[in-house]
Structure 1
Amino acid sequence: MTQTWAVLAAVLFLMIHLIGGSAYSTVNVEAGHEAVLNCPSVSKLSWLMVTWKMKSSTSCFLAYRWDLNETRMLNCSERMMWNYSPDRYPALRIYPVNLNDEGNYTCEIVSREGNFLFIFSLTVIVPPTLTLTSDKNRVAVCQATAGKPAAKISWIPASNHSVEKDIHHLNGTVTRISYISWVNSTHPTVTCLVTHPAVNQTLSLDLSYDSSRLQYLLIGLAVASGAGVTLYLILRCRASRLRKKAHRWPVKAGTENFRFTPSHMNTPVMDHSVSPEKIYQNYKPQAILMSY
């Protein structure tokens, strides 16, 4: 009698779970963490076999037969295993979880009283990478890269002038980008609030600092450009002066003692008053100086 009541209580417990809607459960797990899918305990029933069927990117079959104490595994990743001893606690453990594990998992218990199904929907959450930048026009850009699901972005102080853009990736993740102009704002600091199931974070950026730094950079570039132009003009002026001086300097023609005369005076004039003897009487070859 006691055993009959125990069986009836267990069956009633399973029926309540099935009717109450808990036979279908949703499990959210962050990528890289551990996922444990708990099939309800039916130890008080005379069950014969428990099986797990995974319909994710690859179909996996994991089973345990109680009367033979035998375990079977077909087309399952080594990351999938029994959480504890299947004869006591037939829960499925997946570690570490990745995006390929997302899908529906079915736990089926076979007993003399009937078959019982429990369905789990596994959703893998991927935290996004967060960045907050600005450009020279004081447009702030808040970006949540490769998150699943897509992150929600808001601004502090709140503004109705933000623009959002989503980029969908092949692996199911989403990059969300939000733009907001801060030109007419009296607040020097812009704050981006990112809300996501895996992370809630605020990022702040001092736009006044960025603006002053940009101004200093522009001033430095202007000064450097002015100095370069000035140096170029000085060198060009000096080069022009050197060219003018080069045109004014006389050209040395091999000897400095020659004197040029007009072409009509090139005819040599002979002085007949001087005899050849007087011309050559002081002639000394070793005293001749050659000019080059």
Structure 2
Amino acid sequence: MAQKWAVLALLLFLPINLVEALDRLSVEVGHEAVLSCSNISKVSFLMVTWKRSCCSCCLLSYRGDQNKTSSQNCSERSMWEYSPGIYPALRIYPVKLEDEGNYTCETVNSEGTFYFFSSLTVIVPPMVTLTHDKSRVAVCQASAGKPPADISWIPASNHSSEEEFHHPNGTVTRVSYFGWTNSSFPSVTCLVTHPAMNQTLVMDLRYTSHSLLYILIGAAAGVSAVTGVTLCLIFRCRACWLCKWTRQSTTIKTYEFPLSRVRREAVQAPLFPEKIYENYSPRSVYVCL
């Protein structure tokens, strides 16, 4: 108990040194963020505290006299990078949008109290798509990016326009439109630039015309109809030929014989089995068991 009061008394009478160092860190969502808290002296820490500048936010603390760490309102994603008595850095992994903000590291040793400030910015790469609508307008969209992505076209056009949609989580969707109604370009390229990625999408304008699409669909339908009629005629002719051939092959031919000849052959027909059964006797049958 006396040792505890001694530590508290030492903390009250220590000088306060405000370090005007601000560490700015930008991290992509899902990656790792490490916020540093440098020790400007060689004296060991008596206390280290990490806190975020908001109510009911994460608070990590370390006491050197007890070699004990504690946390309040912290998720399992927020932890010490290494041993806080040696290198009191804060590690956040994986980073989420909700982790963005300002953080303060407070260190106490025998030389005084020091504060280090860090600003964490979370970057979200957008989802990029390139489509076209019925009025021959190419649509390049970078969805839910933070910060907003930059969109440009090749070739450049004065007919392009752009709009933005802001989402509650801080991300922004940017959409750019490129019309090629009166142009003869074979293709158009959309360039999307963002701190987390750069992406290029190309659209071939020769196959995006709806009139050409309708012509191709009509031609395909016509070819299918002709092919169907031809196959039906072939199968029908073949079925008729098979039917006629079957009738001819199943016709029974009859011959007329004189009645006297038929009676004579009937009388002369054998009345007993064939000769191979003449010597047959059931006793001659042996069964091998």
| TM-score, with length taken from structure 1 | 0.66
The 1:92/1:61 distance shift into structure 2, 3 A limit, reads: same
Per-residue CA deviations over 1:116-162 (Å, capped at 9, x if unaligned) read 11111111100000000112332110000000111010111122321
Contact (CA 8 Å) 1:134, 1:207: kept in 2 or not? no
Aligned residue type for 2:68: E
Please give the secondary structure, in 1, of the residue aligned with 2:207: helix
Q: 1:32 aligns with which of 30, 33, 36?
A: 30
Contact (CA 8 Å) 1:57, 1:102: kept in 2 or not? no
**How big is the shift at 1:72?**
1.0
**How big is the shift at 1:209?**
1.9
Please give the secondary structure, in 2, of the residue aligned with 1:217: helix
The question of 1:167 aligning with 2:162 is answered: no
The 1:56/1:122 distance shift into structure 2, 3 A limit, reads: farther
The question of 1:110 aligning with 2:144 is answered: no
Q: 1:208 aligns with which of 199, 206, 209?
A: 206
The question of 1:217 aligning with 2:209 is answered: no
The 1:94/1:223 distance shift into structure 2, 3 A limit, reads: closer
**How big is the shift at 1:42?**
4.1
Matched residues in 2 for 1:91 and 1:191: separation?
45
Contact (CA 8 Å) 1:138, 1:207: kept in 2 or not? no
Which segments of structure 1 move beyond 4 Å, counting only runs of 4 or more?
Answer: 221-225
Query: Where in structure 1 are there 5+ consecutive unaligned residues?
Result: 1-14, 229-292
**How big is the shift at 1:186?**
2.6
Matched residues in 1 for 2:99 and 2:83: separation?
22
Contact (CA 8 Å) 1:35, 1:94: kept in 2 or not? yes
1:204-283 to 2 correspondences below 5 Å: 204-211=202-209, 214-218=211-215, 220-221=217-218
Matched residues in 2 for 1:193 and 1:202: separation?
5
Q: 2:127 aligns with which of 118, 126, 129?
A: 129
**How big is the shift at 1:217?**
2.7
Aligned residue type for 2:27: V
1:82-93 to 2 correspondences below 5 Å: 82-93=80-91
**How big is the shift at 1:38?**
0.9
Corresponding residue of 1:140: 138
Per-residue CA deviations over 1:180-215 (Å, capped at 9, x if unaligned) read 10122232110000010101111111011222x751
Matched residues in 2 for 1:56 and 1:215: separation?
60
Aligned residue type for 1:47: F
Contact (CA 8 Å) 1:57, 1:100: kept in 2 or not? no
> How well do the aligned residues superpose, as a CA RMSD in angstroms?
2.4
Contact (CA 8 Å) 2:105, 2:116: kept in 1 or not? yes
Identify the range of structure 1 (171-180 vs 158-167) with the bigger mean alpha-carbon deviation. Answer: 158-167
Contact (CA 8 Å) 2:207, 2:213: kept in 1 or not? no
Query: Where in structure 2 are there 5+ consecutive unaligned residues?
Result: 1-16, 226-289
Matched residues in 2 for 1:160 and 1:217: separation?
29
Aligned residue type for 1:129: M
The 1:61/1:27 distance shift into structure 2, 3 A limit, reads: same
Aligned residue type for 2:217: G
